[in-house]
Amino acid sequence: MRAILLGFAGRPGVVEKADRLRSVIERFATLVACDFAGQQDLAKVEADLAIVLGGDGSILRAAHQMGHNQIPVLAVNLGRLGFLANLSPEELPAALEELSAKGVAPRVVEHLMIDCRVLRQGNLVAEQLALNEVSVQTGPAYSMIDVDLYIDSEQVTTYSCDGLIIATPVGSTAHSLSAGGPILRKELQAVVISPISPHTLTNRPLVDSADRVYELAIAKADPGASVIVDGRVLSTLEPHDRVRVEKASVRFKMVESPPHSYYRTLREKLGWGGRFHLGHGSR
């Protein structure tokens, strides 16, 4: 089994934990690449498994690095919440042993990814795959922005708001949830559109099929207005720019750990059992 070992060295303890786990990993797999800077292009690396150490932010970074070469991810949670990264370091040896066993097919769950393109006078100026979300937000002094939403070329509405989020099911528990959006089960082929602090209270989150083409048109862009993909600025916006979002041709692939069901994760991470875990989005 060929594996890639990934993590974020900027997070305390990640490199030290990787050093301790490396000998365990190499009992079951051959490491063909290691990257703790988040800079290596993994689009052409041939591997069977990507082992990611860290929080959900580390998984987002790994998904971006892999681009259109999405390798199944086994995520080890070193963060706090870990909606995606829910395997503990102590559980890693057993998981690797099971994955390396002959005749045992791992359960790989594929998740929707979306493709974001920024168009200026019809020309492509920026493009990025997203696992969590695409958002349009204002910059300092953070005034409201008017965003026209089109779905399959039909105008839906104009949002007057602090920003607008288009989130995947995976991203529905991130920024969109904080903006009042619903939680979508991760296997769904749908997106949720959530306005941030809308001026009109009747502008509510909208769920629609991932098979549609979504466009956000900006008639007037204040300085600092930007398109943000998975927490990182993709491009600043100019008046009349269009942000086009549609289903990507690739899927994010996650190796599922049997003890960690979807609703168990929600129950534990969101405090549905009465206990709250603060600090969402750890990287």
Catalytic residue among 35, 48, 56, 241: 56
222 is annotated as an active-site residue: no
What does the alpha-carbon distance between residue 56 and residue 53 come to, in Å, rounded to a whole number? Answer: 9
> In the structure encoding, which two tokens stand for residue 223, read together?
């300085």
Phi (first) and psi of residue 262, to 5 degrees: -60, -50
Distances (CA, A) of 164 to 4, 53, 124, 204, 279: 35, 31, 21, 11, 22
Q: Which residues have a catalytic role annotated?
A: 56
